[in-house]
Amino acid sequence: MKVYINGKYYQKKDAHVSVFDHGLLYGDGVFEGLRIYQGRIFKLEEHITRLYKSARAILLTIPMPEAAMQKAVVKTVVMNKKENGYVRLLVTRGEGALGIDPRSCKKPAIIIIADDIQLYPREYYENGIAIVTSSSRRMPSDSLDPRIKSLNYLNNIMAKIEAHQAGCLEAVMLNQEGFIAECTADNIFIVRGHTLCTPAPYHGALDGITRNTITEIAGSLGIPTAETALTRFDLYNADECFITGTGAEIMPVIKIDGRVIGKGRPGPIAHKLKRGFNEYVNTVTGNKKQGCQI
């Protein structure tokens, strides 16, 4: 494996950052996770755009233009000969003095890792999963805008630990008002009647790339969608529920806090959207004119 760090490539065993990097010390930085399908990077431009918006929001100047960043990600995938996998792209505040003052950090650090991805077993997609509600709340939107994909994930990690303690893969997180925000690393959808519903970013949901792709596909299939406030009551009484993310893609949820959702198995809307997503990926990966990005 060859890891990109600040313009150079290092073998995995030699890929190091300073212990004084503020990304390590204080979670001061931003990141993106991208999927590789058939040697092509999914939604590369959208991910890079979001990365730079996150950085701009926290007053972090990335020392290279977006086009150069895209090329660096593509080159890293090519050098590692990844046909299917995952890219983790990080920009930290960089090395600095002890103490949170970012003025001591003279140069941001850029790290790009292209590796395999640990997918969920097939039976989870076929049978669905159970999730729980976490007592760890989503970071309040008036403290940190949920559209910022920052390196500080501690509250999500605590929620993930709760899920594992309950024997589940995932946990749903509420915002400070008690409305549904998202899961620990995925967006969440429900089907209510014939409408696909999901929390809006101002409710604490990440403006997910896969999330937005799913709503676009739903529109093309004639499925009405709505960004709306949701509570646990809405989840418990949903006809269907599923989560979406770069790694999960579309994962059906069949039980929440012990309540069976719908008929207790993946529903027809989830199946239809999964087929639509697979067709979308197959279509764009077959477009050779787009080079190594899709």
pTM: 0.92
**Mind listing the domains of the chain with CATH numbers?**
2-115 (3.30.470.10), 122-281 (3.20.10.10)
CA-to-CA distance for 203 and 227, rounded, in angstroms? 10
Tell me the pLDDT tens digit for each residue of 136-160. 999 888 888 999 999 999 999 999 9
* pLDDT number for residue 153: 93
Which are the contacts of 245, defined by CB distance < 8 A and separation ≥ 6? Answer: 185, 186, 187, 208, 210, 211, 251
* pLDDT number for residue 291: 40
Average pLDDT score over the chain = 94
Mean pLDDT across 222-235 = 97
3-state secondary structure 214-257: HHHHHHHCCCCEEECCCCHHHHHCCCEEEEEECCCEEEEEEEEC
Q: Looking at 24-28, 58-62, 126-130, 138-142, which range is the least confident one?
A: 138-142
CA-to-CA distance for 127 and 152, rounded, in angstroms? 33
Above pLDDT 70, what percent of the chain? 97
Are residues 66 and 113 in contact, defined by beta-carbon separation less than 8 angstroms? no
* pLDDT number for residue 142: 85
* pLDDT number for residue 7: 96
* pLDDT number for residue 287: 54
The first and second tokens of residue 173, run together, are 């997180």
Mean pLDDT across 64-72 = 98
Tell me the pLDDT tens digit for each residue of 155-169. 999 999 999 999 999
CA-to-CA distance for 113 and 91, rounded, in angstroms? 12
Tell me the pLDDT tens digit for each residue of 96-134. 999 999 999 999 999 999 999 888 899 999 999 999 999
Beta-bridge partners for 259: 256
Please name which of 98, 110, 111, 90 lies closest in space to residue 22, comparing C-alpha atoms: 98
Tell me the pLDDT tens digit for each residue of 179-204. 999 999 999 999 999 899 999 988 99
* pLDDT number for residue 124: 95
Is 50 exceeded by the pLDDT of residue 288?
no
